[in-house]
Amino acid sequence: MFGVIDLPTYLAGLVLIVLLPGPNSLYVLSVAARQGIRAGYTAAAGVWCGDTVLMTLSAAGVASLLKANAVLFGIVKYAGAGYLTWLAIGMLRAAWTMWRSRKQEAAEQAPAPVAAAQERPYRRALVISLFNPKAILFFIAFFVQFVSESNPIVGFVTLGVLAQLASVLYLSALIFGGSRLAAAFRRRRRLSAGATSTAGVLFLGFAVKLSLASV
């Protein structure tokens, strides 16, 4: 049906995979919490574009190439792990700065707008999505199994639309939930520093997970 094999199983697996925390969803939540709904959707757009690129590469056979070529897959995963580590270090440095300045009245009143403007959430989210270990393994090991050989083009499109729809619903929930944290973060520098520290540690964990990933 629609070029898909065993659609109920795919949908069940898709829900579970989408709900698992990953660097892209965590980053969207972080942006929404610090900068609001509009910035959150800007980051989410980067995630959706990145996932579309991965879907297209999977349909073009790149997923099979990565699965068959250990060296190429190693290059991709270590490059992704390095980028996630760089982001984690940046988050931890930002959190340390917040901790040091938490007693300053000016810092309590408003976060630095320049840092937010320089963050470029769309571009960061796009790169995070392209190197997201969960997404890479999803499109290499799970996604392609449900494409019917009799109608592969329709199958890829159907699976891709369903995956993006699930992502839109999930990230929208995170964005609106994260925006509620924004006021608290603006009022309490210590809370913002703690959340940023946690995000940095989690990103280090994602980097380690990606570096240990195998197909």
The per-residue pLDDT for range 57-88, each reduced to its tens digit, is 877 776 566 666 677 667 766 776 776 687 77
* Separation of alpha carbons 84 and 113, rounded Å: 24
Q: Which of the four pLDDT bands, split at 50, 70 and 90, describes residue 13?
A: confident
DSSP letter, residue 6: S
Cβ–Cβ under 8 Å, residues 28 and 42: no
- Please say if the pLDDT value at position 98 is more than 70: no
pLDDT score at 110: 45
187 or 135, higher pLDDT: 135
* Separation of alpha carbons 46 and 49, rounded Å: 5
* Separation of alpha carbons 55 and 121, rounded Å: 21
pTM above 0.85, yes or no: no
Lowest mean pLDDT among 11-15, 86-90, 127-131: 86-90
